[in-house]
Structure 1
Amino acid sequence: MDLIEVGCGNGGNLLELLLLGATPERLSGNELLDERLRHARSVLPDAVRLWPGNAADLALGESSFDIVYQSTVFSSILDDALQESISAAMWRWLRPGGAVLWYDFTYNNPCNPDVRGVSLRRVQALFPQGRITSRRVTLAPPLARVLVRCHPALYGLFNCVPWLRTHVLCWIEKQ
């Protein structure tokens, strides 16, 4: 499968996919920040294609990818119009039968004004044609840090409580 990660950062997720057996020639990444993109280029095989800049402006062909992946990118985009233009680009890049793989948090972080939670309702508005399957998956990080310091087993126990999970994993399928 051909996969692109929007906001690939330093390339960590793409490296993980390679370790899981992904073919470098079928992986791509996009990163807005030059320093992160340079680091990704230094750790990833040359066959992994990397594109700089705003994902909304990339001249990638329609139906180019089976999976378009984003992990905690949209929560860093505070402008609704920019979120909409990037999600529209992601949708264009998807082949029929492909999907957006989405991981992001759903609640605002009161300690960080530079991020904003993205509700499942907002995900649905960004991808109105998509068939969305979602699951809350990550224990609230501030709570998790405290619990793990007390005892690592507490993470699993508290993560069993759905309303304590602040992140959502979505598979947004294009028919």
Structure 2
Amino acid sequence: MNDDPASEVQAVAQRYARRGQPDRYSMLQPDVWQTVQERQRAMLQLFAQLGLAELSQLTVLEVGCGAGGNLLELLRLGFRPEHLAGIELLPERHALARSLLPPAVTLWQGDASALTIEPGSRDIVCQHTVFSSLLDDAFQQQLAAAMWSWLRPGGGVLWYDFTVDNPRNRDVRGVPLQRVQALFPQARMWRRKLTLAPPLARWLCRIHPALYSVFNALPPLRTHVLAWLEKPV
């Protein structure tokens, strides 16, 4: 455990810098577009189940917005740009997001856990594979507490992350459901397992893209969770 949040922030930046291979996450890769489309379908089904019909009225903040891809998704779904915001740690990704997203989308650059936002001001706070890159438990807890404070009662954290460790990548670790619940102990959780294990998906899709769906039909091979963590009214 690290008592200095700044050192964990620096460590996260170094971990991302070591990843390289930018084409690994290109939408031209068959495993990537199938993973993304599966997550999108699950998210839309979740919104429908929650009765979130007026998407244009909802305020959203994404933690770790990267180059803005997820915020672009939300715009296509009908969220209003003036109701969207994101914060990104890495300056180069923040700059790319700023160049791609409409000016009305608010973007910050820096440490999300230190961001000053009015408590209870957001309907949705989302994160996509951010917490699996945070190896310090105390920093995870600090960021989760900040995210929870930004939510209005009845709103929720939209969570997408993997639950198992990757033995080939020591810069990440899985966030099991028990840990998610511990990070947000007051939340009512809805969750769904999805996403074929990426190393397996890449290998199978080299043989044929259709194999993604075949093997993804087996729940034990799914490594990620899409969750909604609702704040009590």
TM-score normalised by length of structure 1: 0.98
1:120 matches 2:177: yes
Instruction: Select the structure that is richer in strand.
Output: 1
Give the letter for the 2:221 counterpart: L
1:169 matches 2:226: yes
Distance, in Å, in 2 between the alignment partners of 1:132 and 1:19 is 26
Distance, in Å, in 1 between the alignment partners of 2:102 and 2:208 is 38
Q: Between the two proteins, what is the percent identity of the paired residues? A: 65
Q: Say which is worse superposed, 114-123 or 11-20, in terms of deviation.
A: 11-20
Unmatched 5+ stretches in structure 2: 1-57
Give the letter for the 1:107 counterpart: V
Partner of 2:228, secondary structure, is strand
Give the letter for the 1:42 counterpart: S
**1:91-144, CA deviations, whole angstroms, 9 ceiling, x for partnerless residues?**
000000000000000111111111111000000000000001111110001111
- Per the alignment, residue 109 of structure 2 pairs with 52
Instruction: Select the structure that is richer in helix.
Output: 2
Number of residue pairs the alignment of both structures matches: 175
What is the root-mean-square deviation of aligned Cα atoms in Å? 0.7
Distance, in Å, in 2 between the alignment partners of 1:100 and 1:72 is 13
- Per the alignment, residue 161 of structure 2 pairs with 104
TM-score normalised by length of structure 2: 0.74
Unmatched 5+ stretches in structure 1: none
1:88 to 139, 145, 149: 145
- Per the alignment, residue 42 of structure 2 pairs with none
Distance, in Å, in 1 between the alignment partners of 2:120 and 2:172 is 30
Partner of 1:9, secondary structure, is coil
Distance, in Å, in 2 between the alignment partners of 1:61 and 1:51 is 15
